[in-house]
Amino acid sequence: MDAEAKPLIQALDLKEDTPPKIVGPAPCVTFSGVHDGLHIHVVWNGKDRETGVDNVGTVPAALSTYLSVLAFQPDVVISAGTAGGFKAQGAAIGDVFLGSAVINHDRRIPLPNFDKYGIGYSNCLATPNLQSSLGLKQGVVSSGNSLDYTDKCMEIMAQHSVAVKEMEAAAIAWACNLYHVPLMCVKAVTDIVDGDRATAEEFLENLHAAAAALQGTVPKVLTAMAGKRMDEL
């Protein structure tokens, strides 16, 4: 979302790519710059033409990632954004999690092998040193195309010990895996999924605070990555 991307763009002093690196009709917008010697590109999914709201969910995320990997040929992709957290996995409002793996919780296909495909379990880049040095929490990230969830969604997330729930990471992982590009997930908690407050209300209340947490954390993650090999993270 714009509210998630804008603080990162400002913190990293990135500029919108002109002319565009990804041309229409793809709606995504890209921003580029350098941070601690690293060439950084932030990709925002843009807005929906019909409604004017941010493009969210797995379809825009997969498209943006696919086109961005082609355009920028990155060494690593970072899915940075907000998420609902599970207090059962130690999440609190404002916490920032590094993803250990990603799944889909609402892609249920009860057919042989399609059930595994539907979950789409994919490991994230292992970053134990980075996690320890920055004092971040870690856990499985689960993606779905609804802000709310069903009882079956909750059952699947509990089976995989999901720590944070959002709407993009598993789709981003799918596109990354096509090109064998490692994925990191950095997710700031806006709401408590297994809490007692309405998700939409809590999300709107805490969105900007969580985006600020990302603004403070992502530059530190990038600084910790500078000059290191992937196996040193």
Is residue 54 part of the annotated active site? The answer reads no
Please say whether the beta carbons of 67 and 29 come within 8 A: no
SS (H, E, C) 42-96: EEECCECCCCCCECCCHHHHHHHHHHHHHHHCCCCEEEEEEEEECHHHCCCCCCE
Give me the DSSP letters along 144-169. -S-SS--HHHHHHHHHTTEEEEESSH
Active site residue 16: no
User: Which residue out of 4, 106, 166, 202 is catalytically annotated?
Assistant: 4
Neighbours of 86 (CB within 10 A): 24
β-strand partners of 186: 80, 98
Three-class secondary structure of residue 9 per DSSP: helix
Active-site entry in 95, 191, 201, 205: 191
**Active-site amino acid positions:** 4, 191
